[in-house]
Structure 1
């Protein structure tokens, strides 16, 4: 509703003008069908066609203006904002990741590990940047295996970024470390955990009406656009506090910076632009990183 109000205020109603001029042209042409052509009707038809053509041109210009406005809005939204110094918040994070963990994270993956990551993908998942869904690689693995493995291994050995399954491999490796990084009470993001906080929240709500010294207070906190506004610098600061190496976070930053977004308007893609913050919902990293952030900031 708010978008409709904004559009009416910002842009003229070109569709109404197109419909009005089209109706006027059809009325003149209907008169010509009945009475036949004459100088007066001929001039009216020419004028009506001119008005209709101008209305179509205006409609096209307004649509182009809307597309540019929407594109610029989302492009600026994904630019990095200024962030405050978070050293005081992060000072309580213990260093848990040791050198052996960092070496294991950055070791060149074997063909078996790459295959395990690919076959862990949902076969019916949305196609990735290469345009192929998971089922393609499952069915054609014997054919694409050599080139896929070479591309992934080059990233770990030489830092050559490639659109592929590197995020999935990193996510699988980080998931092994998560039990040491997150608290037992955290139930929201870790894969495989039962969400018991729902029962706890229900019990606390029932206790709100019980008499207690000082009364009771319940707060529900939510972060607007939490996925899209996640600051990468803050995320990497958290990871460094936990003990993740600079090399590992540099590789993650390479993957993040390689992302490109496009806006889908009226069924067509409009432009491509880079992002400087946020994680796409559904990305392999998301549960692991949000678990780290929750423990580092909220849980403490």
Structure 2
């Protein structure tokens, strides 16, 4: 090799080394790597606490899908009603009592009595699409399922793993009220609903921009947990009204009984689940 060729080779090597160093610093500070297909999906803005790079993009996509489930182009085809995940899991799953996502991932894989099987977090997400959103199952390992699971796992990152051998419930699960202590009254529930709920959810339960549908074709089907009076009452007690939950246990049971006295879609696995 002559002196001119050796000089050129040294310069090329130096340029590649400097370029690689600059790219690494830039990627580390700006997290500019974006997974395929997520650049135009209206992702929630990152915060200093988020992971960087593709994992951070996936976590933020999951949060976006949780808040925009019925309208986002990735999840809208999977949803059969007007509900979003955050219709039940308030504050995008960050609410400490209303079906909180915080800590949920630490319980999985978990045994599910309803399915008579041990299930993963992704499978649990799929069941919500089938029941609460009266829709169809996201593809296992697909972008929707992985993104929502990543978001829930990120919210659970400080929770010790504690797989649940009894039920798929995390440490911040909804605490059920004592069903034997209170007898629901539908008539009282109707009056309470008109006074406390109808402004947001409308008199016919069809929902508005202030509150989701509570019964009818645009609400959850009869396979969802909230279609049971006990589960609905327990949720109402800690969740409604938003940011100022003040219902008594009796009021929660009465309203739950009234809401669930109305028709809603039937859960039919053969229709909802394409598998």
Q: Which structure shows the higher helix fraction? A: 1
Point out the structure with max Rg over C-alpha: 1
Greater relative CO, 1 or 2 (CA 8 Å, sep 6+):
1
Q: Do they superpose with TM above 0.5?
A: no
Into which bin does the TM-score normalised by the smaller protein fall?
Answer: under 0.3
TM-score, length of structure 1 as denominator length: 0.24
TM-score by length of 2: 0.26
